[in-house]
Structure 1
Amino acid sequence: MVPRVIDAEHRREYVVWVRFADGAEGEIDLESELWGRMFEPISIPEEFKRVSVDSELGTLVWPNGADFAPEFLYQKLCPNYKLKPTPQSGAA
């Protein structure tokens, strides 16, 4: 199962509440992840607040193009999560 973010809300500073399609929900603090060329612009609190959900990608996005993989966000919320490979159908 690849996690999909279906709802999100900025809560405070660099904390976002997220809900995943499987019902998992909670707050994720992303402050320590805001480094590098794509993420430094959203380290400005007013920019970070502009977070939204891209329903096609199933993850958090910002107007500057920054996003986080939904698997990464799910693991931040549920540390024991491990992406399981999708079973292959048919002959090898």
Structure 2
Amino acid sequence: MTVTPTLLALLTVFALWMVACIWTGFRARIWLFFAVLAIGLALNATWMVLGLDARVLEPHALLAQVSVILYAVGGFGAGWLAGRMARRWRESRVDKDDA
């Protein structure tokens, strides 16, 4: 498989967007997550319309938008779980002064 510049750009944007979803989950910033989700949906729709000549309401485009939502929720959930575990880890830490 050859990695074209377009594919590399799309993968980079997707990776950065997923990091943003995970970070909002880790920090438990729900409203910021919705902003990141809206940006992801807009970028995906723009790519499909301009790059792939798709119509916004055709079934494949709608399925791609649902996939964006599921990726975002999964990233937020993973970040939220990691953040919760990190907070509990810090709370349960035993200091040297306590011993």
TM-score bracket, shorter-length normalisation = under 0.3
Kindly indicate which of the two structures has a greater share of residues assigned to helix: 2
- TM-score (norm: length of structure 2): 0.21
- TM-score (norm: length of structure 1): 0.22
Greater RCO, 1 or 2 (C-alpha within 8 Å, sep 6+): 2
Task: Tell me which structure has the larger Cα radius of gyration.
Answer: 2
Kindly indicate which of the two structures has a greater share of residues assigned to strand: 1
